[in-house]
Structure 1
């Protein structure tokens, strides 16, 4: 079921662009969580992702102080044990994906780029599993244990959409020119539906 894209076949620039585009689909989940529980500053993550897009613009490339950005980001990472709200898990995935991307930009040989792809997929998988369990519970509340098969998650429209999006993005970036125009196109590609990877409407 897991997405296994050969990201190491892409250049560093292409891998960073791939991860930045996936994060565009993940950050709205953090925003929803932050607004709901009044924890974390969504603007910090938004500004950091904008900084990465600026870094990708070779004609106007900015320098990133990775240690300073990671320290700032660490303050925004939610502790799942501290919140009785399931939205904490996709929010945590978003923050950790951004952290992984910063680390991978410093050390391209690390697993950071692959981790962003996995964290995005994990967010969807977890959300789909919860949704399916809730549906079954509503139909047969007397069931003691609800078992969701991996196949059910894999066939869910949200998971199918996640797989299709990552594949489409990979295929586009593998031959894309390393410039701002490609960044604009990659971002437009993932935001076309106006939804996060969990199907949550994106607030502009």
Structure 2
């Protein structure tokens, strides 16, 4: 598994910048329902702003000449973070979505060579944490096996592989739309959660 992952991360790093950005945008897209659910259940957060900032990132990918002030967008994004004192599971996964979009913005704001790896790992770690939370297994070895063989882990690995394949092709406008559709995943997040209203 580790060697396959190593190959995966190497391939990610070898992608051109716009392909890495499309990969990150797709993963952020799939984390967005987790944030929306957190905002809906707690009243904290601003899903609309998160959605708008991510939309601008997609726009920049489709129209590289688009003039977007990503420093300003990063400021708006920072205001969307869950309260620091909220250490709930929902808050941490909501923060994952914010952090993933922030990492994407960083690639336009300056050097962020690790950003694509960070976003990939953040999404996988969120899935792992969700399985650990829901399975209630205290034995570390059993838990590791549960996580490895869990359908959500399979789903996450398969999703990231599919996005990597998609962005490894030339990024025409149609391909970007397809990558975005892949990320939206019909409103279902990397944790298998969705907003009923979506």
Common fold: TM-score over 0.5: yes
Between structure 1 and structure 2, the one with the greater Rg is 1
More helix by share: 2
**1:201 equivalent in alignment to 2:184:** no
Deviations 1:126-185 (A, max 9, x none): 11110111xx5xxxxxxxx5545322111110111000100111012112x222211111
Aligned residues: 191
Do the aligned residues in 1 keep the contact of 2:36 with 2:47 (CA within 8 Å)? yes
Aligned to 2:73: 69
Aligned to 2:150: 156
Do the aligned residues in 2 keep the contact of 1:18 with 1:169 (CA within 8 Å)? yes
Do the aligned residues in 1 keep the contact of 2:26 with 2:180 (CA within 8 Å)? yes
Deviations 1:80-117 (A, max 9, x none): 5335x421111011111111111123235521121111
CA distance in 2 between partners of 1:67 and 1:164 (Å): 33
Q: Secondary structure at the match of 1:149?
A: helix
Do the aligned residues in 2 keep the contact of 1:80 with 1:89 (CA within 8 Å)? no
Which runs of 5 or more structure 2 residues have no equivalent in the other structure? none
- What's the Cα RMSD here? 2.0
Do the aligned residues in 1 keep the contact of 2:35 with 2:47 (CA within 8 Å)? yes
In structure 2, do the counterparts of structure 1 residues 66 and 191 end up closer, same or farther at CA, with 3 Å as the change threshold? closer
Do the aligned residues in 2 keep the contact of 1:20 with 1:52 (CA within 8 Å)? yes
**1:100 equivalent in alignment to 2:103:** yes
Deviations 1:11-55 (A, max 9, x none): 111111111111111011000001111111111110001001100
CA distance in 1 between partners of 2:186 and 2:71 (Å): 34
Q: Secondary structure at the match of 2:181?
A: helix
Aligned to 2:16: 11
Aligned to 2:89: 86
Do the aligned residues in 2 keep the contact of 1:19 with 1:101 (CA within 8 Å)? yes
CA distance in 1 between partners of 2:150 and 2:183 (Å): 19
Which runs of 5 or more structure 1 residues have no equivalent in the other structure? 137-144
**1:48 equivalent in alignment to 2:53:** yes
In structure 2, do the counterparts of structure 1 residues 86 and 7 end up closer, same or farther at CA, with 3 Å as the change threshold? same
Aligned to 1:139: none
